[in-house]
Amino acid sequence: MDFSWILDILQRYVFNIANLQGMLRLATPVVLAGLCALITSRAGILNIAGEGMILFGAWFGVAGSYFFRSAWMGLLAAMLSGLVVGGLFALFSLKFRAHIIIMGIAINIFANSATIFLTREVFGVAGAFSDPNIAGLPPIEIPILKDIPVLGPLLSGYTFIVYLAWILVALTYVFLYRTPWGLHLRAVGENPQAAETLGINVQRVRFGAVMASGVFASLAGVYLSLGHLQMFTEQMAAGRGFIGMAVNTFGGGEPVGVFLSSLLFGIVETIGWRLQGERIMPVYFISMLPYLATLAALTIFTLRKQQAKKAALERAAREA
Amino acid sequence: MTTAVEMLGIRKVFPGVVANDNVNLSVEEGEIHALIGENGAGKSTLMNVLFGLHHPEAGVIKIRGKEVHIRKNADAIALGIGMVHQKFKLVPSFTVAENITLGSEPRHRGIFLDRKAVHDNVMEISRRFGLQISPDARIQDLPVGVQQRVEILKALYRQADILILDEPTAVLTPKETRDLFGVIRSLVANGKTVIFITHKLREVMEISDRVTAMRDGKVVGVTKTTETNPTQLARMMVGRDVLLRVTKTEAQPKDVVLQIRDLHVFDDRNLKAVQGVSFDVRAGEILGIAGVEGNGQRELVEAIVGLRPAWNGEIQVKAQNLTTLNIRQRREVGVSCVPEDRYVRGVALPASIEDNLIVNNYFKPPIAQGPLLKPDVIARHAQELIETFDVRTPSKDVPAYALSGGNLQKVVLARELSAQPDLFIAAQPTRGLDIGSIEFVHRRIVEARDRGAAVLLVSAELEEIMSLSDRIVVLYEGKIMGAIEGARATEEGLGLWMAGITSEGSPEAAGH
Amino acid sequence: MREKLRTITQLLRNAFGRSIGILLSILAAVMVGSIIMLIEGQNPLEIYWLLIKGALGSQRGLLISLQRATPLIFTAIASTLAFRTGVFNVGVEGQFFIGAICGAFVGYAVKLPMLIHLPLTLAAGFFGGALWAFFPTIMRQKLGVSEIITTIMTNYIATFLISYLTNYPLRHTPTTPETPPVQPTAQLAQFVELSEGTFGKGTQAHVGIFIALLVVIVMYIIFKRTRIGYEWRMVGLSFPFSEFGGINLDRTFIGGMLVSGGIAGLGGAVEILGVWREYKDLFAAGFGFRGNLAALLGGQNVIGSTIAALFYGGMEAGALGLEWSAGVPRQLIDIVVGLIIFFMAAEGMWAFVRRIKWVRGSRAVHRTTEDLEV
C-alpha cells in the first residue's frame, strides 16, 4: 500500500509554515479562554460567564483603542472591563449567593445585548464597527530569532497578545505550582474545608480567581477585536468562552494541557480555512468544525474517564 | 504533673438539643486521655469547642492553668492545640509535604514556594517524632493509615502540644491501628498530650491512661484506666435510664420474607463496606441491626433498596431475587424504607407534603388513571395520611421544609407504611427526634410488625435496638459479629460486639 | 391551632418576601437603566413612558406586543420545562431555529390539504427541535457532560447548518439565501388577513398566539395533573428523593429535555408559518436566549414564564417604536431585563429585607445539580 498521500495531506494542510502560523494565531483566543476557565475551575467555581467577558473585552478593546488612538489603551480598557465584569460576577455569585449558573447565563446574554447596544449608541453603527482610527496591535519581530529559517517565521512576527498568551500559560503554571497562592487556590478548589481549617480565606481566593478569569477572558476578546482586523462585530466571541471550558476539561485543568488542546483547535480551524480556500466543501460546514470538535473532544474525554472509573471498581473487586 | 487542658462548666446548645451540659474535663500534661461515649453523647462537640470550631454558651477553658478565650480555629492552633478530624481534611492531589505546610508555607524570595524548605521541614519533623513518611508522595495514593499520619504531622508542624484525635481508629485496619498506637506512644514520650475520642472499649483499655465517659451531653464518669474494665465502661456509656419502653407482644414470626446470602457491597471509595453478610427476616418479626455507624449499615440498606449495586451475593424478598430489579420494581415487590438521610432522600424539601406522600404510588390507581393524576384522590390520600399519622401541619400544601423534624419523619413513615410493605426497613428512624416523636415512630414500627411485615431496623442507638427488636444482629466492619434473641441481649454484651470485641476477646474470631 | 397559625403566617411571609425581592429587583434594574439613559443624554421618564405607550397604548401596539411575545412564550416555556427538571437548556436558541427550518421545509415542499398539512408542518417543527436537543441530552445523562457547553455548541452548529441549507439545497432565489415560500395550506393566518384588513393593520400578529397559549395550558396541566409532570417536578426539586422514590431519572431527564426542545422547535415553526412564510437565513436571532431570560424572570414556572414572555414581548414592541422615534437601540430592553435577573438571582443582596422581622425565613430552596462534569 502506498501511504504517501497521507503525508501529502499532512504537509499540505498541517505541516507548512503558513498553516502552523495560522494555528498559533487561531489558538490564541482559545488559550486565553481556556486559562479563564482553568483559573476558576481550579478554585472550584463553575464559571460559564467567560463568553460574556470575552465580548466585553473585545468591545472595550476597540473602544479604548478608538478613543485614545492607541492599541495599548484598548488593551488597558479591555483588562479593566474584565476586572469589573469579573468583580461583579464574583460579587453576585459569591457574596450575594446568586445561583452561579443562572448568573453566568444572564451575564452572557447581557453582554451580547450590551455590546450591541453600546455599538449603536457610541459608534452609531449596527452589526460591526471598524474605523481607521482604531489602532491595531503591531506585530512584534523578535531580533535574531526572526532571521533563523523556519523558526523565524514560525515564532516571530505575531502581535503582542499571542506572546502574552504564551507567557501567561507559563506564568499560570508557575503561579499554580510554585507559589503559595497557587497552592492555596488549588487547595480551595479541591478541599475548601481543608483550606478553611488552615486559615486560608476561601472566599477571598475565589474572588481573586474570578477577577483573574475576567482579565484572561478580556485578553481573548482584545485579540479577537484588535489582534488581526481592527473591528468589533456583534457576537464575535462566537462560543470561544465555552470552547475554553471544553479545552480546560480536555487539557485536564493544566496550563500546558490547555495550551496543547488549544493548538488542536487551532489546527482544526486552520484546516478549515485551508479547505475553504480550496472550495472542497461549503464554508458552513467548515465553520461548524470547532464546535463539532468541541463536542467530539468532550465525548472522548468523558468516555475515557468513565472507563477508567469502571476499571478502578473492577480492580478493587479483584483485590478484595 | 500539671494540667494541660481544663474545661469547666461547658454548655453548648444546638437548636433543640443540649449537646454539652455543664461538662467538665481535665487532661493532665503528657497523658493519653480517652473520651468515650455513644454517638451523640457530645464528645465531638466538646472537642470542637476546644478547637475553636464551636462557641460554647457558657464555661471556662484553661490551657496549662491559664484561662483562655478561643474565638476561632486559629486561636486554638496558636495555643498549641491540634485536631485530627474523623473525616480527614487533606487535599488529595497534593503531596504529603504540601498538605502539611499548607497555609504557612516557607517562601523563597517572598513570592515563590521554597520547595526544598517544605521538603526539609517535613523530613525534620517526621524524624523528630519518629513518624515515617515520604514527603513527595501524593495523598490520593496513600492508604488511610498514612493519611492519618499526615494529619498528625500537620498538627505537629503547627507546634501542637495537645493533640485531639477524633475517632482515629474508625477508618483503620487492625494493623494500622497498632501502628497508630505506636505513634501515639512516641508522641507522649516526646512530651505531647493526647485526647483520644472513641467508643471502642478495647482500645481505651490498651492505650489510655485515664478515661472520661460522656452520655447525653454530660460527663458520667472519670476514672483511671487501670482501675476499670470494659464491662464497667460499657455500662457507663450506654447505661442510661430507659425512658421509653415499647409495649409489644411476643413476635409471631412466619415465613421468611427477606433472605440475604453472602452479600458483598462496595462503598463510594471502592472499599468493601459489606463483606459476606447473611441473614433472614421473617414476616411478623423485627430484626435489629446494631452497630457503630460506618460499619456497612448504610451500604447494606442501599443494596437492599436498590440504590447501590450488590457486588456479590443474594438478596431475596418473598423468594424473588431483587438484585436485577430497579428501585421501583423492588418497591412493587413489597419493599418500603425509611431512609437514613431523611432530608435528602426521605423528602423533597421544597415539594408540598401532598407531593411528598405519593412518590411511591403516583403512577398507579387509585392515584393515577392512565397518564393522568387524580387530584381529588391525591388530596384525600394526603388528608387521610396526615390524620392517621398525626402530621402537625396547617395544610397538605405547605412545603416539607416548613415542618419540624418529627413531623417530617411522620410524612416519610406515612408514605412508606401506606404501601403495606412486606419488608419494611427503618434506617436510623429516630435520629434527632424529640421524645414524643420517637415514641410515635416506635409504635408504628411495632404495628407494622404486628400487621405481618418483616421489619429490618437499623440503628446506632442501642436502646432503640433493644426495646424494639425480636432478634438482634451486630455489624462490625461489614461483617456480622453475632446474633442474639432480643430478650436475651444485654447492653454490655451488644456494646462489646459493637466495639469489635467478642466474648473470647478477639474480633477476628467473631466472623462466622 | 397555634402551630397552624404560625405556619400560615410563615407561608405568607415567604410569599411576601419573594415578591418584595422581585419588586426591588425591578426597581433596581429600572434605576440602573435610568442611569444608562441619563448618560446617553435621554430623559428616562420620557423613555419609559414611550416604551409603555408603544407597547400598550394602541391596538396596533398591543398586537405587535402579542406578535413579539408569541415566539418568546414558546422558548420561555421550553426553558422553564428544562430548568424545572434541573437541566440548563441554553440550546433553546438552536432548537428554535431547527424547528423553524423543518417547519419551512415541510411547509413548502409538501402538497396536502390544510387539515393535514398544517399539523404535519407543526409536528415537523416539534420533532426538529426535539432531535436537536437529543444529542446534548444523551451526553449529559449517559456521560455526565454539562449540558451548558453542549447545548451552546449545538446552537452554533444549528446556525451554520441552516445557513448551508438556505444557501444551497433549499435556496429559492439566486439573490438572497432563503427558502421558497410556504404553501398557503401550511400558513398560520394573520389577524389582518382574517379580518380582510379591518383588524390589526400594520401588524403581523397571527393565530400562532393561540397555539402558544394552548402549549401554556397543556404544560400547566401536564405539570399539575399528570404522572410525567409529577416526575419532572420532583426530579427538579430533588433528584436523590426522586431516585429513592423509584422515579426513573434517565427517562425523566431525557423525556423532559426532548419535550423542551420540541416546544422550542414548535415555536420556530409557528414563527415561520405565521410571520415570515419562508425561511430567511438568520431571520431573527435571539428568541431562544430571550426565552431563557423570560423563564428566569418568571421564576421558572409555567404561568410566571408566560407572563414574563408577554411582558418581554411588550417591552420589545415598545422598544421597536422607541428605536424609530427616539433613536434608542432596542437592546436597552435586554439590558434592563438582564439587570432585573441579576438582582433577582442575588438572594443575599436582599438579605437586609429578610432582616426585617416579619419577612424572615423566606429563602428560595430551589437548587439544582451542580456536580456535573464541565
Q: Residue B229 half-sphere exposure, CB side, CA atoms within 13 Å?
A: 3
Domain-terminating residue out of B238, B259, B281: B238
Write the DSSP assignment of A109-168 as a string of letters. HHHHHHHHHHIIIII--SSEEE-TTSPPPPEEPPTTGGGSTTHHHHHSSEEHHHHHHHHH
User: What pLDDT does residue B506 have?
Assistant: 40
Subunits adjacent to chain A (3 or more Cβ pairs under 8 Å): B, C
Q: Angle CA(C317)–CA(C318)–CA(C324) in degrees, nearest 5?
A: 95
Q: Is A187 on the interface with B (CB under 8 A)?
A: yes
Q: Is residue C365 part of a domain?
A: no
Domain-terminating residue out of B197, B212, B238: B238
Q: Which residues of C touch B337 (CB under 8 A)?
A: 244
pLDDT in tens, B475-509: 988 999 999 998 888 877 887 887 777 765 443 33
- Of A101-110, A124-133, B23-32, C100-109, the least confident: A124-133
**Higher-pLDDT residue of C305, B462:** C305
Q: Which residues of A touch C281 (CB under 8 A)?
A: none
CB pair distance less than 8 Å for C245 and B359 = yes
Closest of C306, C325, C290 to residue C73, by C-alpha: C306
Indicate if the alpha-carbon torsion angle C181, A288, C156, A124 is positive or negative.
Answer: negative
Q: Do residues C325 and C107 lie in contact, with contact meaning Cβ atoms separated by under 8 Å?
A: no
Q: Do residues B480 and B506 lie in contact, with contact meaning Cβ atoms separated by under 8 Å?
A: no
Under 8 Å CB-to-CB from A4, ≥6 apart: which residues? none
pLDDT in tens, B48-64: 999 988 889 899 999 99
Residues B388 and B426 in one domain: no
Per-residue pLDDT band for C358 (boundaries 50, 70, 90) equals very low
Q: Is residue B120 part of a domain?
A: yes
Name the residue in chain A with its Cα closest to that of B158: A198
pLDDT (average), residues C97-125:
92
pLDDT in tens, C49-106: 888 888 888 888 889 999 999 999 999 999 999 999 988 899 999 999 999 999 999 9
Residues B70 and B200 in one domain: yes
Total number of domains in chain C: 1
Closest of A84, A61, A30, A26 to residue A239, by C-alpha: A30
Asked if the model's pLDDT at residue B510 lies above 60, the reply is no
Residues B382 and B355 in one domain: yes
Residues B188 and B288 in one domain: no
For residues A67, A73, A74 and A80, what is the CA-based torsion angle, rounded to 10 degrees?
-110
pLDDT (average), residues B235-264:
78
User: What pLDDT does residue C282 have?
Assistant: 65
> How far are the Cα atoms of C118, C124, C159 from residue C115, in angstroms, in the given order?
6, 15, 31
Name the residue in chain A with its Cα closest to that of B157: A198
CB pair distance less than 8 Å for B91 and A190 = yes
Query: Omega of the bond prior to A255 within 30 degrees of 0, cis?
Result: no
Q: Is residue B59 part of a domain?
A: yes
- The number of residues making up chain C comes to 374
Closest of B306, B247, B260 to residue B456, by C-alpha: B260
Three-state DSSP state, B373: strand
CB pair distance less than 8 Å for C341 and A295 = no
Asked if the model's pLDDT at residue C275 lies above 80, the reply is yes
Q: Is C157 on the interface with A (CB under 8 A)?
A: yes
Q: Is C240 on the interface with B (CB under 8 A)?
A: yes
Q: Is residue C33 part of a domain?
A: yes
User: What pLDDT does residue C362 have?
Assistant: 32
Asked if the model's pLDDT at residue C1 lies above 60, the reply is no
- The Cα–Cα gap between A109 and C335 comes to 9
> How far are the Cα atoms of B343, B357, B382, B391, C267 from residue B411, in angstroms, in the given order?
12, 7, 10, 7, 41
Per-residue pLDDT band for C13 (boundaries 50, 70, 90) equals low
Three-state DSSP state, B347: coil
CB pair distance less than 8 Å for B266 and A316 = yes
Residues B320 and B343 in one domain: no
Q: Which residues of B touch A200 (CB under 8 A)?
A: 102-103
pLDDT in tens, B390-439: 888 888 888 898 887 888 999 999 999 999 999 999 999 987 676 678 88
**Higher-pLDDT residue of C82, C357:** C82
Q: Is residue C7 part of a domain?
A: no
Q: Which residues of A touch B93 (CB under 8 A)?
A: 186, 190
Name the residue in chain C with its Cα closest to that of A283: C164
- Please tell me whether the interface predicted TM-score (ipTM) of this complex is above 0.95: no
Q: Which residues of A touch C79 (CB under 8 A)?
A: none
Q: Is B15 on the interface with C (CB under 8 A)?
A: no
Q: What is the domain range of residue C188?
A: 15-359
User: What pLDDT does residue A138 have?
Assistant: 82
Residues B318 and B375 in one domain: no
Name the residue in chain B with its Cα closest to that of C10: B402
Residues B77 and B225 in one domain: yes
The CA distance from A118 to the nearest CA of chain B, in Å, is 41
Asked if the model's pLDDT at residue C260 lies above 70, the reply is yes
Residues B128 and B49 in one domain: yes
pLDDT in tens, A143-167: 887 778 777 777 777 888 899 999 9
CB pair distance less than 8 Å for C293 and A106 = yes
The pLDDT > 90 percentage for chain B reads: 50
Q: Do residues B61 and B9 lie in contact, with contact meaning Cβ atoms separated by under 8 Å?
A: no
**Higher-pLDDT residue of C144, C262:** C262
pLDDT in tens, A190-229: 998 888 888 888 889 999 999 999 999 999 999 999 888 8
Q: Do residues A209 and A39 lie in contact, with contact meaning Cβ atoms separated by under 8 Å?
A: yes
Q: Kindly list the strands in the beta sheet with B58-63, ordered across the sheet, starting from the edge strand earlier in the chain.
A: B17-28, B3-14, B58-63, B66-68
Name the residue in chain B with its Cα closest to that of A180: B113
CB pair distance less than 8 Å for B105 and A183 = yes
pLDDT (average), residues C36-40:
81
Domain-terminating residue out of B187, B209, B238: B238
> How far are the Cα atoms of A142, B257, B269, B417, B424 from residue B334, in angstroms, in the given order?
77, 10, 30, 11, 8
The CA distance from C103 to the nearest CA of chain B, in Å, is 29
Q: Which residues of C touch B331 (CB under 8 A)?
A: 246
pLDDT (average), residues B349-358:
93
C-alpha cell at A309: 472509573
Q: Is residue C6 part of a domain?
A: no
Residues B27 and B108 in one domain: yes
pLDDT in tens, A13-57: 667 777 888 888 889 999 999 999 999 999 999 899 999 999 999
Residues B315 and B414 in one domain: no
- Best of A183, A188, A314 to disrupt the B interface by mutation (most B CBs within 10 Å)? A183
CB pair distance less than 8 Å for A92 and C88 = no
Q: Which residues of C touch B322 (CB under 8 A)?
A: none
The CA distance from A46 to the nearest CA of chain B, in Å, is 19
Q: Is residue B251 part of a domain?
A: yes
Biggest CA-to-CA distance, chain B:
78
User: What pLDDT does residue C368 have?
Assistant: 29
User: What pLDDT does residue B393 have?
Assistant: 84
Strands (E), B146-271: 162-166, 193-198, 210-215, 218-224, 256-266
Q: What is the domain range of residue B12?
A: 3-238
Under 8 Å CB-to-CB from A8, ≥6 apart: which residues? none
Per-residue pLDDT band for C365 (boundaries 50, 70, 90) equals very low
CATH number, domain with residue C122: 1.10.3470
User: What pLDDT does residue B257 have?
Assistant: 95
Per-residue pLDDT band for B261 (boundaries 50, 70, 90) equals very high
